[in-house]
Structure 1
Amino acid sequence: MTTLLDKKRSVTSNVQSPDKATLDQVLSRIAALAPMVARLAPDIEQGRRLPAELVSALRSARIYGMLVPRRYGGLELDAPSTFRVVSALAKLDGSVGWNAMIGHLGSLMPFLVSRAFCEEIFQDGKDHIFAGSGQPAGKAERVRGGWRVSGSWPFASGCQNAEWIAGTCVMMEGGSPIDSPDGPGPMTRTCLMPAERWEIRDTWYTVGLKGTGSHHVALTDALVPDESFFEFPFGASFASDPIFGKFAEVLVLSHGAVAVGIAEGAITDLVELAREGVTQLFMTTPLVETERFKEGLARLDADLMAARALLEAQIARVWQNPERATAKGLARVAEQLQAVVWITSACVRVAESCFELAGSRAVYESSSLQRRVRDLRVAAQHFAAQPRNYVTAGAAVLARLS
């Protein structure tokens, strides 16, 4: 079925990718994955992870190397292009889109560590899968030879398929937190270690995004060398590529790409259901022919267009900014947080309205529409999409208008 919000209606479709042919090839591979994703949908939900068959296909489609520089074996696409890819995958399945978001951005973590660390990982020229948690749920105590790390980190999406896992720690010395050099509070740093060093704790029992496998990961008294730590997400990179001056901004906005893709899938599901000739109880006209359906569909399509337009405008603005951001803290990404909160909320409304218009046929577990609603509701609980971020954004608006 033709997408309601297709490339011709995309406000940034004329913004050229550095390698349009490569982007088109990736998008073609995603389209070819649609039957596999549909077939594996029950396994994704019940297994609470992406099946190995699908992960292998995503790797073959080069999803995990989209942003990695070419000199390290990646595709070196720009962020507006990778957002199109993430949205396309999220339209197929929310959990697939979410893990693609995490995986393709996670591949940039080694570039925040060091050149030597990065070259060690990418010397084989292959794409690698990364997972992790940005919550400072661990403690790293300074010892001879590095740091002694213990902790249990939640929401490590894709950890069961990852080759490398990261966890953020409060840095300690002599049993007390080390003061942050950037302001009040403790210093936090993130350690990146091979996946086999981590324990995966089976905790991901949720109402939505079930297939992301966002379990807890843990380290217990692990010795981690200095050279395995980096600052997330505002740390500097040795690399001069554009992405590393805007990593935090892209990271925040990427949540909007997932939300838009899931909402687009919800509209597609609704239209496909209506075109089956459904006539609702006590109605004499097929649903698709009723004025209520047509008016509702138009409103939902307009809401989705607005959400996508804001996302595309924001990522284009970030990507085209020649400055390399160095500030740290939420104030730096206030505008991106503001956009993602609004985009996600709009997409939740779209999906829930699709569910309402669809009637009783949407309540069955076999309906992908009910899964879209659950997935978006869980996505909206992420910190980046929380309405409390409007406080940070509001302060930035006041400063801008002063």
Structure 2
Amino acid sequence: MAPPLQISLHIGAVAVGIAQAALDDVVALAKAGKKRLYARHTLRESPQFQHRLGRAQSDLRAARALLQELSGRFWTTCVEAPDSASGFAPEILSTTAWLVDTAAEVVSACYRASGTSPVRDGSTLQRRFRDIHVLTQHASATDGWFAQAGSTLLGFDFALES
């Protein structure tokens, strides 16, 4: 079971990477002086934009920290006690679902905050928006993993549904 769990962690890492790139995109847009139509201030000067940006960055930092911590524990277990690595399944799968969901929220916040710029063909932010929402459809990111993790907390055996 360790390779599929490792792949799930990779899906989480891709989601975090997409979210970081979206955050970088919107920061660059704001620093370039972007001003939304009819706005009094540039994005960079807008307290509402600054709030959204700060929240998105905090969410992303939390996702990255959780991914690193869980990956480190999983790796150590795979090296030191490989037979017990499958015990990580509920935690890894529910964490991956959370990571992808959180990353999608970060990307969506960046997309909404940047005005009409990302609706244009060729916009990197538009591509990141599409990519993260495609990733939310992956089997490793389904909401059902939360129920599986919750059931194991209640003493039920973990079982992959076929």
- Do 1:293 and 1:357's aligned partners in 2 also have CA atoms closer than 8 Å? yes
State the AA in 2 paired with 1:372. Answer: R
- Given the alignment of the two structures, is residue 308 of structure 1 paired with residue 64 of structure 2, yes or no? yes
1:395 Cα shift?
Answer: 1.3
Q: Which structure shows the bigger proportion of residues in helix conformation?
A: 2
Corresponding residue number in structure 2 for 1:270: 26
User: What TM-score, normalized by structure 1, do the two folds share?
Assistant: 0.37
Corresponding residue number in structure 1 for 2:160: none
Distance 1:285 1:388, change over 3 A: same
- Given the alignment of the two structures, is residue 257 of structure 1 paired with residue 4 of structure 2, yes or no? no
- Do 2:16 and 2:99's aligned partners in 1 also have CA atoms closer than 8 Å? yes
State the AA in 1 paired with 2:57. Answer: D
User: What TM-score, normalized by structure 2, do the two folds share?
Assistant: 0.89
1:284 Cα shift?
Answer: 2.4
Corresponding residue number in structure 2 for 1:281: 37
After superposition, give the CA deviation of every residue in 1:87-110 in whole Å (9 maximum; x if it has no partner): xxxxxxxxxxxxxxxxxxxxxxxx
State the AA in 1 paired with 2:111. Answer: F
Unpaired runs of at least 5, structure 1: 1-233, 235-245
Q: Which structure shows the bigger proportion of residues in strand conformation?
A: 1
After superposition, give the CA deviation of every residue in 1:138-180 in whole Å (9 maximum; x if it has no partner): xxxxxxxxxxxxxxxxxxxxxxxxxxxxxxxxxxxxxxxxxxx
1:286 Cα shift?
Answer: 1.3
Tell me the distance in 1 between the aligned counterparts of 2:45 and 2:88: 48
1:326 Cα shift?
Answer: 6.0
Distance 1:334 1:360, change over 3 A: same
Unpaired runs of at least 5, structure 2: 157-162
Q: How does 1:77-88 map to 2 (within 5 A)?
A: none
- Given the alignment of the two structures, is residue 323 of structure 1 paired with residue 81 of structure 2, yes or no? yes
Seq. identity, %: 34
- Do 1:266 and 1:372's aligned partners in 2 also have CA atoms closer than 8 Å? yes
CA RMSD of aligned residues (A): 1.7
Distance 1:277 1:396, change over 3 A: same
Corresponding residue number in structure 2 for 1:295: 51
Tell me the distance in 2 between the aligned counterparts of 1:326 and 1:397: 17
Tell me the distance in 2 between the aligned counterparts of 1:263 and 1:327: 28
Moved over 3 A (4+): none
Larger CA Rg, structure 1 vs 2: 1
Corresponding residue number in structure 1 for 2:98: 342
- Do 1:307 and 1:343's aligned partners in 2 also have CA atoms closer than 8 Å? yes
Q: How does 1:2-13 map to 2 (within 5 A)?
A: none
Q: How does 1:105-116 map to 2 (within 5 A)?
A: none
- Do 1:380 and 1:386's aligned partners in 2 also have CA atoms closer than 8 Å? yes
After superposition, give the CA deviation of every residue in 1:216-244 in whole Å (9 maximum; x if it has no partner): xxxxxxxxxxxxxxxxxx3xxxxxxxxxx
State the AA in 1 paired with 2:81. Answer: E
Corresponding residue number in structure 1 for 2:152: 396
Number of aligned residue pairs: 154
Q: How does 1:17-32 map to 2 (within 5 A)?
A: none
**More RCO (CA 8 Å, sep 6+):** 2
- Do 1:249 and 1:318's aligned partners in 2 also have CA atoms closer than 8 Å? no
